[in-house]
Chain A
Amino acid sequence: NAGVMQNPRHLVRRRGQEARLRCSPMKGHSHVYWYRQLPEEGLKFMVYLQKENIIDESGMPKERFSAEFPKEGPSILRIQQVVRGDSAAYFCASSPGRSNQPQHFGDGTRLSIL
């Protein structure tokens, strides 16, 4: 039973380019969460999605960031026109959505902006 799969593990982009981070949830999980860990800082919630729906995006920066979880395929976190401050580790987690079930985390994508 595969866990949460994130790819790529490492991503390097130049300022102004686009970054696309992918997350495939665990089998049977319909809820996906994205978190960001800035260097020397704690994890912060970004967005919570279910299939084809954004449930809570209160942690997403207002510009350049978007997320989707289509009916088919992985969840995508997209960052347009990246800047140096976007360098961070981005973690995806999934859960079946029931309140007594924990979230399972992927290994993260380390994004570096040159």
Chain B
Amino acid sequence: KNEVEQSPQNLTAQEGEFITINCSYSVGISALHWLQQHPGGGIVSLFMLSSGKKKHGRLIATINIQEKHSSLHITASHPRDSAVYICAVGGGADGLTFGKGTHLIIQP
């Protein structure tokens, strides 16, 4: 059974700061997902990656398969980025295993 650990659990930063959220997992995987959840809201899939790096707007996700580690970066952070960011592992046809999430607050 894969164990997924995220850090930090909570993060408060000022608008404009560069944000990094980390995710480690214990067992080799076919894919890793980064998800975003706003309070009381639905879940949005930000990235699915199995190697290297992906970029979408101000968001960047990287993964190191050998080290079983992934990072999510947010450049030029904005208050609307405030949300819970969740790391999950599993392939497209498998149920996902989730980290506990990182609660991010960006203050104006």
Interface residues of A (CB under 8 A from B): 31, 33, 35, 41-45, 47-48, 56, 59, 91, 93, 95-108, 110
Contact = CB atoms under 8 A, between A and B. Distances in A.
Nearest to B98: A43
Interface string B37-74: 00011111100101000000000000000000000000
Contact of A42 (B30, B92, B93, B99): B99
Contacts of B95: 33, 35, 45, 47-48, 56, 59
A44 B98 contact: yes
A104 B45 contact: yes
Interface residues of B, number: 25
Interface of B: 30-31, 33, 35, 40-45, 48, 50, 86, 88, 91-101
Main secondary structure of the interface of B (DSSP, over half): loop
B32 to A, nearest CB: 11
A48 B94 CA distance: 8
Contact of B44 (A42, A48, A95, A105): A105
A42 B43 contact: no
A21 B6 CA distance: 30
B42 A107 contact: yes
A93 B50 CA distance: 20
Contacts of B50: 100
A98 B42 contact: no
26 contacts: A31-B93, A33-B95, A35-B95, A42-B86, A43-B43, A45-B95, A59-B95, A91-B43, A95-B92, A96-B92, A97-B92, A99-B31, A100-B92, A101-B92, A102-B31, A102-B33, A102-B92, A103-B33, A103-B45, A103-B92, A104-B45, A105-B42, A105-B45, A107-B42, A108-B42, A110-B40
